[in-house]
Structure 1
Amino acid sequence: MKTIIAIKNSGNKGKTEIARKLANLLVEVHSDFKPIYPIPFNILKETDFSIVLKIDEKIVGIESQGDPGTNLKTRLETLILEYNCDLIICTCRSRGETVRSISAIANLHKFQTIWDSTYESKICHEEINKLKAEHLYDLMKKLKLT
């Protein structure tokens, strides 16, 4: 089943960094991936990013900009309608506009939604975000989403 994995939390909690680490892990593990968007393919290192890639027969989209007022709903619709993603990983806030946007898109396009969050810690942010990305990758593999 088509799936959205939403990484949610309040602002400045590492959501984008987890999405970036997960994107880099997918590219590293699946070195035979086919880049779809952007061309030339690039996972931005310092800002929000949006990518689409093909892994085996699945189209995966990752959207890291999940702040209110950033048209998350429109960007998710693009991933579904323009790129026909089977799996979307995105970030969002804990409540409000971005959560409603994901729910509306998932219901409209019949995607199942897996709601997740960041790990919270006052130390070792880099390592904790890396572990969270690895855990999400393991979840995706076990559920056969990629």
Structure 2
Amino acid sequence: MANNKQIGLFECCMILFRTANVPIGPEAEAKGVALIFQSRSGGGNVLISAIGLPDPRTLDGDRYVAWIRDTPGSQTIPVQLLQTGPVVTEPGVWVGAFVFGPGEQIAPFQDIIVTAEDQAPLLKPSLNRIALIGLFNQC
């Protein structure tokens, strides 16, 4: 029997909100956005960006990681965020991307969280270090 797995076309722009773990900074309040695209044949991409995040050491980490949680395959997908420029000119701007291939599906998922992490490998998020969160039902 052929696999007739139905994958829906999905496009969304999700706002990532600051949690109480992150102090309000003088340059920009911490917030972010995730752009999600999934084609009907599967495959697509997720672009995650944030501004106003403090140094990850503020949350006892050394890097920021976005986590796409509880995908249809019950996976949690880590996406490392990289700082785009010096804090002097860009207040805490971080960006990361995830690309997935044909036949793969990530939507619907539970949420996207951004955490400060301090150890590799990145297997699960440190839930006591959540900086930003956005829920799938916002889409």
Report the TM range for the smaller structure's normalisation.
under 0.3
Q: TM-score, normalised by structure 1?
A: 0.26
Q: Which has the higher contact order (CA 8 A, sep 6+)?
A: 1
**Structure with the bigger percentage of strand:** 2
Q: TM-score, normalised by structure 2?
A: 0.27
Structure with bigger gyration radius? 2
**Structure with the bigger percentage of helix:** 1
